[in-house]
Chain A
Amino acid sequence: MSADGWSPSAVQLDREAYRQRRSVRSAAIAAASTTVLLGGVTLAVVTSPGWERVRETYFSWDKAVDSFPAVLDGLWLNIRVMVVCAVVIVALSLTVAIMRTLRGPVAFPLRLLGTVYVDVFRGLPLLLVLFLLGFGGPALNLSGLPRSALFWGCTALVLSYSAYVAEVFRAGIESVHPSQRLAGRSLGLSSTQTLRHVVLPQAWRRVLPPLMNDLVSLQKDSGLIAVLGVVDAIRAAQIETARDFNYTPYVVAGVLFICLTIPMARATDWYARKQGFHGAGGMV
């Protein structure tokens, strides 16, 4: 009985009992179907004729332990590349997004520049940009700029990703209702102040989940700079593999990448919830 003397009526008790039976049944079905599916797949793989050789080539524990330090060392480079690139990408793409949302004839060159940049770098495959900049960049012999493959690889990542992320930011900025700008301007805030204090904070909250998605993607694509000869996790695994043609180091690298993305996905969810973003999922 609750504090105000209410106790559930017979009708309500019947509803609750029904819901209880339903959720027990759903859980049982889910458990059974998961077991059957996973068990079936496992059985199919393990009983396949080539399983013994595959297990030895891809899932060798000794080889995994052996190659782990080198792959982990490579992964440390991926992480550093990702963090540095992510910071530069946010800055560059936000600038491009703002350029593209400017109004008025004065801003025309900026709008044009932003549009051309986005069009070009969204159209070019990342691998192509990596080859062009990774080999062409150092050849320019620009004074003041490093000639390392790492630097030019990161530049390619930044240029390619910023074009995508700029569009995410632009969508966020344009999703903020015009009445918010009016409210800001009516208080005497300048156009820039309204953007900074009213529009961008709201846009930022809205685009955060898709941005984190791009960050996860960037983390994986940071491995592509391996084509320029930089030793990251994938390249390290390749080197380890080449010694005895045992492919276990690739699996090790894959597991490490997954171990990175899962916490990041959970962190995204947590941060979005903290910002008061619930979305429509789970609602009626």
Chain B
Amino acid sequence: MSRQRVSGQRVSGQGVSALLEMRGVRKSFGSQVVLRDIDLVVEPGQCVVLIGASGSGKSTLLRCANLLETVDDGVISFEGEDICDPRVDADRVRGRMGLVFQAYNLFPHLTALGNVTLALRKVHGVDRGEADERGMAMLERVGLAEKAGARPDDLSGGQQQRVAIARALVNGPGLMLLDEVTSALDPELVGEVLDLLTGLRDEGVTMLLNTHEMGFARDVADTVCFLHDGMIHEAGSPEQVLGAPQQERTRAFLSRLRT
């Protein structure tokens, strides 16, 4: 572990200490190029929102950041370390990020509390008593303390997604990655999840997420990035990108959403 830590190089050139920084990231599946030349910076405490049509590469970008996919080229530095270096211990990096999936991906054989505490106990070496305590506190935070003993199958979609957020959050990640966390939910359940995320942003949790909820993006984002065909075509404040888009493609995408 220590050897791997030493081998990770510091790559953030500028004085600013970006938490996550992508430079020239490229990823393809077979002959299909999904990410072409991604440059992206997430500062601590920021909320960066990726928007774009289905298939534009948003989910792949998050999975690359979590090392669930291996990039073809480019540098991803997290907390100052190039995590694409094959000598880096990917499990250690993933343990410092939280990833929430579109389809929740809760473990069906474990209770809500069991889901939340698994990584605490097995990855972070917290003993059962303390893990349960921290897990309960986190379930309390997402408003599901009374569901601690319930299996995922007995929870609604919105509740499952909140458990999934708690599961990622309880490990104290430096960065939360959220992959279209509301797109599998009924409209009335979307609200409870988005309210939770807004609360997290206000608490200063750093987030990189993609969404189709433009209203939510406008409310929470510090930076909005518009992805099209594996490239970030436009990035800036939500007022800029959503309110007064400069690029033709961004305008076209947003106008399709409104009609």
Contact = CB atoms under 8 A, between A and B. Distances in A.
Interface of A: 179-180, 182-190, 193, 197-198, 201-202, 205, 276
Contacts of B66: 186
Contacts of A202: 107-109
Q: Which 8 pairs of residues, A with B, have the shortest CB-CB distance?
A: A188-B95, A183-B105, A187-B119, A186-B99, A188-B123, A188-B94, A201-B109, A179-B105
Contact of A187 (B92, B108, B118, B153): B118
29 contacts: A180-B105, A182-B101, A182-B105, A184-B107, A185-B68, A185-B91, A185-B94, A186-B66, A186-B99, A186-B101, A187-B94, A187-B95, A187-B118, A187-B119, A187-B123, A187-B168, A187-B171, A188-B91, A188-B119, A188-B123, A189-B118, A189-B119, A189-B122, A193-B122, A193-B123, A197-B118, A197-B122, A205-B109, A276-B151
Contacts of B123: 187-189, 193
A166 B223 CA distance: 52
A193 B121 CA distance: 11
A188 B109 contact: no
B215 to A, nearest CB: 28
A34 B70 CA distance: 65
Interface centre among B68, B94, B97, B167 (most CB of A within 10 A): B94
Contacts of B106: 183
A180 B171 CA distance: 18
Contacts of A183: 101, 105-107
Q: In terms of DSSP, what is the predominant structure of the interface of chain A?
A: helix
A187 B115 CA distance: 10
Given A186-B66, A188-B96, 7 more contacts: A184-B107, A186-B94, A186-B101, A187-B118, A187-B123, A188-B92, A189-B118
Interface in B112-136: 118-119, 122-124
Contacts of A179: 101, 103, 105
A205 B153 CA distance: 15
Residue with the highest number of chain B CB atoms closer than 10 Å, among A188, A198, A276: A188
Contacts of B118: 187, 189, 197-198
Nearest to B62: A186
Contact of A186 (B68, B92, B109): B68
Contacts of A187: 94-95, 118-119, 123, 167-168, 171
A198 B91 contact: no
Contacts of A182: 68, 101, 105
A180 B107 contact: yes
A15 B242 CA distance: 58
Most buried by B among A184, A187, A190, A193: A187
Contacts of B95: 187-188
B101 A188 contact: no
A82 B97 CA distance: 48
A201 B118 CA distance: 13
Contacts of A190: 91
Nearest to A186: B99
A202 B109 CA distance: 6
Contacts of A276: 151, 153
B1 to A, nearest CB: 12
Contacts of B99: 186
Most buried by A among B103, B105, B118, B168: B105
B57 to A, nearest CB: 18
B25 to A, nearest CB: 18
A183 B105 CA distance: 6
Contacts of B171: 187-188
Most buried by A among B96, B123, B124, B171: B123
A190 to B, nearest CB: 5
A180 B98 CA distance: 15
A100 to B, nearest CB: 22
Nearest to B114: A197
A278 to B, nearest CB: 11
B95 to A, nearest CB: 3
Contacts of B68: 182, 185-186
A183 B91 CA distance: 12
Interface in B7-37: none
B91 A189 contact: yes
A184 B114 CA distance: 13
Interface in B176-228: none
Nearest to A275: B109
Nearest to B103: A179
A208 to B, nearest CB: 12
A239 to B, nearest CB: 49
A185 B96 CA distance: 12
